[in-house]
C-alpha cells in the first residue's frame, strides 16, 4: 500500500553561492533528476520566501509513495552527484531536508495528468509540536475547525497535513540551526494569490490559541512560486499514450 508524502527542502545560499548559481543548479540539475526519473514524484517546484525569514528558498515535492526515499536508485543519487553538485552543496549556508508522511488532504493525491498537480502560486506552511496530552484536541481542531475555515477564503485551493518522519540539516551554517528541531506536524495550504492571506475571511493569528498556544514548537513560513516542473517520469508511466501525445 502506497504512503503519500512530501519532500520539503529549505535552502540558504549564503556568501559563497550566488543566487544565480543556485537556481541554475537546482532548476536544471537537481529537480529534473527526481521528476524525470522517479514516477512517485507528482509535483516539483521551487519557491521563494516572502515572509522575510530564512532560509530564503524552498524545494517542495509531492510524492505518491514515500518508499521512493528508500529506493536504492534514489539513494544512489547522493553517491553519484556531479562534481558541480558536490562543490555547490559544500558551499551552501544551509540545506534543511525534511520528509513528511501524509495525514490528511482536502484533495485526493493528484493523478500526474490532473490539473491539481500544478503547484500553487502561494503556500502557507504552519507547523507545530503540540504537548502530548493535547495532541488529539490539536488534530480535532485542525480537521473540524481550522481547515473548514480556510475553505471559505477566496483563492484557497488545497490544504494538506503531514507528520515529520526524517530531517537532515547540512551546510556551512548548519551548526547554527542544529538546536532547532522542526515541529512534528506540518500544514501546507495553497492559495491562488497573496491577496487571499489578507482577506477578512482568512483566520486570525489568534485562531485556535486555546489549542496551539501550548505547542512546544511552532514555525510559520510563506512562500511564492518561482517555477513548477512537470512530473515527467509519472507522465511516462501513465498508460495513456494518446493523452500524453
> Domain residue spans in the chain?
5-244
pLDDT: which is higher, 233 or 189: 189
Q: How many Å apart are CA 209 and CA 7, to the nearest integer?
A: 28
Length of the chain equals 245
Q: How many Å apart are CA 222 and CA 42, to the nearest integer?
A: 22
* pLDDT tens, position by position, 203-236: 988 788 888 888 889 999 999 999 999 888 888 8
Q: How many Å apart are CA 198 and CA 28, to the nearest integer?
A: 34
At residue 239, the pLDDT reads 60
Confidence band for 180, pLDDT divided at 50, 70 and 90? low
Checking if the pLDDT of 4 tops 80, the result is: yes
Burial class (CB in 10 A: 0-12, 13-18, 19+), 197: middle
Please state, in angstroms and as integers, the Cα–Cα distance from residue 154 to each residue in 137, 171, 198, 220, following that order. 27, 39, 10, 21
Confidence band for 190, pLDDT divided at 50, 70 and 90? very high
What's the predicted TM-score (pTM) here? 0.91
Checking if the pLDDT of 177 tops 80, the result is: no
Second CATH level (architecture) for the domain 5-244: 2-Layer Sandwich (3.30)
At residue 205, the pLDDT reads 81
Cβ density class 146-174: b for 16+ within 10 Å, e for less: bbeebeebebbbbbbbbebeeeebebbbb
Amino acid at each position: 500500500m502506497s504512503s503519500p508524502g512530501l519532500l520539503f527542502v529549505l535552502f540558504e545560499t549564503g556568501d559563497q553561492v550566488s543566487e544565480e548559481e543556485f537556481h541554475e543548479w537546482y532548476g536544471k540539475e537537481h529537480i529534473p533528476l527526481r521528476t524525470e526519473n522517479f514516477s512517485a514524484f507528482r509535483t516539483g517546484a521551487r519557491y521563494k520566501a516572502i515572509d522575510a525569514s530564512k532560509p530564503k528558498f524552498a524545494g517542495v515535492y509531492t510524492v505518491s509513495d514515500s518508499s521512493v526515499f528508500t529506493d536504492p536508485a534514489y539513494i544512489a543519487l547522493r553517491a553519484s552527484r556531479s562534481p558541480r553538485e558536490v562543490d555547490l552543496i559544500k558551499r551552501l549556508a544551509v540545506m534543511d531536508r525534511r520528509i513528511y508522511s501524509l495525514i490528511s488532504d482536502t484533495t485526493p493525491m493528484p493523478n500526474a495528468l490532473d490539473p491539481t498537480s500544478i503547484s500553487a502560486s502561494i503556500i502557507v506552511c504552519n507547523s507545530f509540536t503540540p504537548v502530548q496530552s493535547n495532541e488529539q484536541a490539536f488534530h480535532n481542531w485542525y480537521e473540524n475547525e481550522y481547515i473548514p475555515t480556510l475553505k471559505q477564503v477566496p483563492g484557497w485551493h488545497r490544504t494538506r497535513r503531514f507528520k515529520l518522519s526524517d530531517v537532515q540539516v547540512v551546510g556551512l551554517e548548519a551548526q547554527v540551526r542544529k538546536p532547532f528541531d522542526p515541529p512534528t506536524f506540518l500544514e501546507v495550504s495553497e492559495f491562488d494569490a497573496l491577496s487571499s492571506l489578507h482577506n477578512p475571511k482568512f483566520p486570525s493569528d489568534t485562531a485556535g490559541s486555546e489549542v496551539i498556544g501550548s505547542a512546544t514548537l511552532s514555525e510559520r513560513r510563506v512562500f511564492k512560486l518561482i517555477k513548477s516542473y512537470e512530473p515527467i517520469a509519472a507522465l511516462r508511466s501513465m498508460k495513456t499514450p494518446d493523452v500524453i501525445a
